[in-house]
Structure 1
C-alpha cells in the first residue's frame, strides 16, 4: 500500500461526503463555500472573541485531527486545499504530511501539492495569502477486506477537505472505547518541528498510552485565554493536561501579579465542567534562552542568508525584580499553585516539563531554532510523557 498520484481505478470511485462524523480530534467542523469542510480546534464563539491572526492560523491547523473510516476499500482519494507557509528569505518548508494507519498500524504517508500559500515576512511583520488549486492525496494498494483506517491530517497546515472517494462504501469507524485525553499547550504541543502529524509528542504519547487524543496545542496561543478554558471545560474528556508558560514568557504578555490569578481562573473554569477528571498541569520544557531571561522573543535573522532562522530573548534578567516572567519563575509559581490547590483537589497533579526535555537533552538534542524541538525530540518527549503519566502510580493511570 502506498500513496500515488491520482489515476484511473479499475473500479469506479464513489464519493462520500466529508462530515463531522468521519473526523476525530476536531472541536468544530465548518462548512465552506466550496462544499468542503474545515476542521477547527476552537469553536466559532471562541474564535469570535479574539482577533489575533496567529491564533486563527494555529487553531485551523488540524493537529491531532484525523479521518476515521471503516471500509473494504483498497483505494482512497482525498481532495484538499492546504494552506502552506512560506517565509521570506528562507528555503521552502516541506509539504505537510498525511499519515495513513490501517487497523492501528502505520501504512503510508503522502503530501498534497498545490493549495494556498501564506507568505510571512518576519522582518516586516506581515502576512499575505495567495490562493491556489486543490490537490488530491491518494492511497492505493490497501489490503482486502473490511478494515479501520485513519488519515491524520497535517499538524501545521490549515486543511480544507473537499471530497473523499473510494472504490467501496465508507462509513465512520466505530468508537474505540479508549479514554479521551484532552491536552492544551503551545506550538510544541501542536507539533512545531515534528516530521509528521502522528509524530508530534502528544500523538506519540497517546498511542503509547492507549488513549485517544484531542490536541488543543496552539502555536503562540497558550496564553491562559478564558475562551480556551471554557472550550476545555465544555469538551468531553477522561483525562486533561494543560502545559503553561512558554508563550506567556515569549509574548511578554503578563507580569507575575497577573499570572497567578490567571492560572487559578483557568483551572477554576476547567473544574466547572470536569470536577473530578484527572488534571495535570505541566510546566515548560527547558528552553535555555528564556530560563532566566524574560521575553519577548524575537526572530534572530542573522543566519537567514544560510536559510536559518532562530529566536532570541530580548528581555533583561534584571527585569524579574519588576515581575517579568521567566521559565524559572513560571515553574516555581505553577508548582506552588498546584500544591496549594491539590490539598482540596485529589485529582490535580503537577509535572515539571524538564522531565520531558531537560539539561542533558539540551546538550544531546539542542533546539534547532533555540525555541522548538525537532522530530527526534518530539518522539523522546512522547515516550517520557507516556512512561510518567500512564504508569501505575501516574496521574493518568488506568
Structure 2
C-alpha cells in the first residue's frame, strides 16, 4: 500500500548555510550573498557562484521514512568539453550519510562557450528526488544541495510531519575563500574540504567560498562583518594572483581594510587568515591564469600562468609574494589582536601533496585532496593547539 505524502511549505527556516533566500515563480532560491552585496558587483561569474549552494542544506526534524524533494537545477554545459557530472544531493540522518540522488532529466541549462565568451540559457522542468527506507524514528535530517549547481527548491513532501530544525548548540563557522573552498572538483557536497572540516570540528558551516571571487571586495568584508558567527576564517590569495587584479602596493592596505571591516562586527571573534595552498603554476609566476589551448583542444580543461616572473620586482603578485605579505600584516596586527591567527596554507596542501595528488587542472583539488585538506584543517585549527580550539 502506498502511503500518501504530506507537503511541507518551503520556508527560509528550513535552510542552513544561505545568507538570503529569494522567492521565485517556482519556489525558493538560496543565495550565499545578500542582495545589498550582489547589487555592488555586476560580474556574472560572481552572480553564478554565489547562487550555487555550496554548504547550503535543508535541515528538519521528522519521523518520516520517505522524503521527496522537487528541485529545479541549472546545469552547465561547456561546448567542446566533456559533460559535467550532475550535481549530487546528499541526505544525512543524525549526521550519517544515508542517501544520495541526482536531478536527471530536467532543469535549466546554461551553455557557456569559453572560446566565444558567450552564454545561453534554456529553461527546463523540475525534477523529483526520492529518499526512501529512512529509519522509522524521530530524527534530524539534512539534505545537502549540490555545491556547484544553482538549485531552486520547488516542493518538499514526506510521509510524516516535518519541522524546521532551527535550533543548534554547535558553534557557527563562517568561512570565505576561493573555488577551492567552494568545492571545485569535489564529487559531492559533504566532500568539499570545508564540509569535511566542519563535520570533524563539530561546527555549523556557513560557506562563502566563491569560485574566482575571493578578491578582497569591500562588500564581501561587510557581509562577513554583518553575519552572525562564532568562528571566522578567510583564505586569501589565489584569485588575486590568477586574476592579476592587484599589485603589492595595494594588496597590504586592502588586507588591512578587509580585516578592519570584519572586526567592526566581530571585535573578539577568533579570526583565522589562511595563506594560499600550494599551486605550482603560480608559486613564482604571476597571473593572469588562462585556459591551456592544447588541453582544451584535447577536450580537457586546464590552466596555465601567463605572467612574467621578472615583473615580480615591480609589484606583480605570486603566491610566494602573497604569503610573505599576509604573514607581515597578520603578525603586525596580532600584537594588538589576540584573536587573530595565521595558517600557512601549505600545511594543508604543500609541495609533497602536489607530487602525490597533483591538481588535475593545475588549479583545483581533486576529491581525495579535498578530504585531506579538510581533515588537516580540522586537526590543526579545531585541535588542542589550534586557533578554534574549544569550539
Bin the TM-score by the shorter chain.
over 0.9
Once superposed, what is the RMSD of the aligned Cα atoms? 0.9
Matching residue of 1:108: 99
Map 1:56-135 → 2, pairs under 5 A: 56-113=47-104, 114-135=106-127
Equivalent runs, 1:8-47 vs 2, <5 Å: 10-34=2-26, 36-47=27-38
Cα distance in 2, alignment partners of residues 128 and 253 from structure 1: 27
TM-score, length of structure 2 as denominator length: 0.98
Q: Does the residue aligned with 2:333 lie in a helix, a strand or coil?
A: helix
1 CA distance for matches of 2:351 and 2:376? 15
Q: 1:129: Cα distance to partner?
A: 1.4
Structure 1 residues 79-108: Cα deviation after superposition (integer angstroms, max 9, x where no partner):
111011111101111100001100111101
Deviation at 1:152, TM superposition (A): 0.3
Tell me which residue corresponds to 1:228. 220
Q: State TM-score, norm by structure 1.
A: 0.96
Q: For residue 138 of structure 1, give the secondary structure of its aligned residue in structure 2.
A: strand
| Aligned twin of 2:206 | 214
| Pair 1:308-2:332 in alignment | no
Query: Distance in 2 between the 1:310 and 1:123 partners?
Result: 14
Q: Hey, what's the Cα distance between the residues in 2 that align with 1:100 and 1:247?
A: 32
Tell me the equivalent position of 1:49: 40
Q: CA deviation at 1:393?
A: 1.5
Aligned position for 1:4: none
In the alignment, what sits opposite 1:157? 149
Gaps of at least 5 residues in structure 1 are 1-8
The within-5 A match list for 1:185-200 is 185-200=177-192
Cα distance between partner residues in 2 of 1:32 and 1:174: 23
- Partner-residue secondary structure (3-state), 1:51: coil
CA contact 1:302–1:309 (8 Å) conserved in 2: no
Correspondence for 1:142 among 134, 138, 146: 134
Aligned counterpart, 2:384: 392
In structure 2, what is the equivalent of residue 243 of structure 1? Answer: 235
Q: Which moved more, 1:228-237 or 1:122-131?
A: 122-131
CA contact (8 A) 1:338 1:350 kept: yes
Residue equivalent to 2:327: 335
Quick check: 1:233–1:270 contact (8 Å CA) kept in 2?
yes
For residue 131 of structure 1, report the CA deviation from its aligned partner. 1.2
Verify the 8 A CA contact 1:76 1:166 in the aligned structure 2: yes
Residue deviations 1:20-53, cap 9 Å, x none?
110001000000022x000000000110110000
Alpha-carbon distance, 1:303 to partner: 2.4
Distance 1:210 1:286 in 2: 27
Shift of 1:337: 0.2
Paired residues of 1:301 and 1:308 also in contact (CA < 8 A): no
TM-fit CA distance, 1:174: 4.5
- Secondary structure (helix, strand or coil) at the match of 2:64 reads coil
Q: Does 1:366 align with 2:378?
A: no
Alpha-carbon shift at residue 305 of structure 1 (Å): 4.2
Q: CA offset at residue 132 of structure 1? A: 1.1
Contact persistence 2:72–2:152 (CA under 8 A): yes
Q: Does 1:253 align with 2:245?
A: yes
SS at match of 1:281: strand
Regions of 4+ moved over 2 Å = 303-307
Q: In the aligned structure 2, how far is the partner of 1:388 from the partner of 1:235?
A: 25
The number of residue pairs the alignment matches comes to 389
| Per-residue deviation, 1:271 | 0.1
